[in-house]
Chain A
Amino acid sequence: MSEALGRVVATERKPNTPHEFHFWTAIDSPVGIGTIVRVDGAQPIDGQIPHIYGIIVEGFSYTDLQSPMHDVLGHDGLPTTAGFAATERAEIRLYTAAVLRQIPEEPLQPVPMGQVYLADEADVQVALRMDGYLREGANTGIPVGVYRAGGTDAVIYLDADFLLGPEAAHLNITGVSGLATKTSAVEWLLSSLFKHFPHEKGSIAAVCFNVKGPDLCYLDQPGKIEESDKSLYEKLGVEPKPFEKVQYFAPYTAKGHSLNTFRNNEALLDKVVPLTWGLREVLQFAEVLLNKDDVDAKADALIDFITQNVVDKEFSDPLLSKKHKVQSFADLEAWFRDVLQGMEKKDGESWRTHHVATIRKVRNRLSNISTRCAGLVTDSGTVSDLPFGSFEDRTVYVVDVANLEEDAQDLIFARIVSKLREHLERRDLGVKHLVVFVDELNKYAPGDGADTYVRKMLLDIAERGRYLGLVLFSAQQFRSQVHRRVVGNSGTALFGRMDADELSTPGYAVLSPATRTKLATLEKGQLMIRHPHFTQPIFVRFPRPSVMQGRQGAELYPQASEIGLDAAVFRALRPLDPTITLPWVQDMVALYGEDEIIRARNATLLARPDKVRPYFEAQFRKHIPAQAAPRPMAASIKSAPENDPYGF
Chain B
Amino acid sequence: MLVSNSGPDAASRAVLRLLTDKLPGLSPIAGGTSAEPLTASDPPVLRAAKIVEGTVLRAIKVPDVSREMTSGFGAFLDGAQKVQVIAHLYGLPVVLGTISAAVRVRVNRRMTTWGHQPPRVQQAIYLPLRYLPALDTETLAGIQRSEWRVIDTSTADKNGDYPSQHPAVLVDRAIRAVDQQREELEDRLAEAWCALGESPLFIDGGISRTPTVAASTCAVGVIKSHRTLYVEGDSLTVVMGLKKGERSSVFRVSPRSRNSVLSWYLRQRAPEGHDSMWGLVRVEVAECDQPTERADEISRWILAEASPLALPDGRWDKMIYGIRDTEEFLRAIS
Contacts and interface: CB of A to CB of B under 8 A. Distances in A.
Interface of A: 27, 64-67, 70-71, 73-75, 81-82, 84-90
Given A66-B312, A71-B308, A81-B67, A87 B328 contact: no
B94 to A, nearest CB: 29
A86 B305 contact: yes
Given A27-B110, A64-B324, 9 more contacts: A74-B308, A84-B67, A85-B109, A86-B305, A87-B109, A87-B321, A87-B322, A89-B321, A90-B111
Most buried by A among B71, B109, B309, B322: B309
Contact of A86 (B71, B311, B328): B71
A88 B322 CA distance: 9
B22 interface: no
Contacts of B321: 86-87, 89
Contacts of B312: 66-67, 70
Interface of B: 67-68, 70-71, 73, 106, 109-111, 304-309, 311-312, 321-322, 324-325, 328
A24 to B, nearest CB: 12
B328 A90 contact: yes
A88 B70 contact: no
A66 B71 CA distance: 25
A502 to B, nearest CB: 41
Contacts of A65: 308, 311
A70 B109 contact: no
A73 to B, nearest CB: 6
Give the interface SS of chain B, mostly helix, strand, loop or mixed.
loop
Contact of B328 (A64, A81, A84): A64
B314 to A, nearest CB: 12
Contact of A87 (B67, B68, B305): B305
A67 B73 CA distance: 27
B257 to A, nearest CB: 34
Contacts of A81: 67, 307
Nearest to A84: B67
A84 B306 CA distance: 11
11 contacts: A67-B312, A70-B309, A70-B311, A73-B311, A74-B307, A75-B307, A82-B307, A86-B73, A86-B109, A86-B304, A87-B321
A247 B2 CA distance: 80
A25 to B, nearest CB: 14
Most chain B CB atoms below 10 A, which of A73, A82, A87: A87
A88 B305 CA distance: 11
B110 A86 contact: no
Contacts of B324: 64
A84 B106 CA distance: 15
A88 B110 contact: yes
Contacts of B70: 84, 86
Nearest to A66: B312
Nearest to A70: B311
Contacts of A75: 307-308
A74 B304 CA distance: 12
A400 B301 CA distance: 75
Nearest to B305: A86
A90 B307 contact: no
B68 A84 contact: yes
Nearest to B325: A90
A89 B109 CA distance: 9
B258 to A, nearest CB: 29
A86 B325 contact: no
B309 A87 contact: no
Nearest to A91: B110
Contacts of A67: 311-312
A84 B300 CA distance: 13
A64 B110 CA distance: 13
Nearest to A71: B308
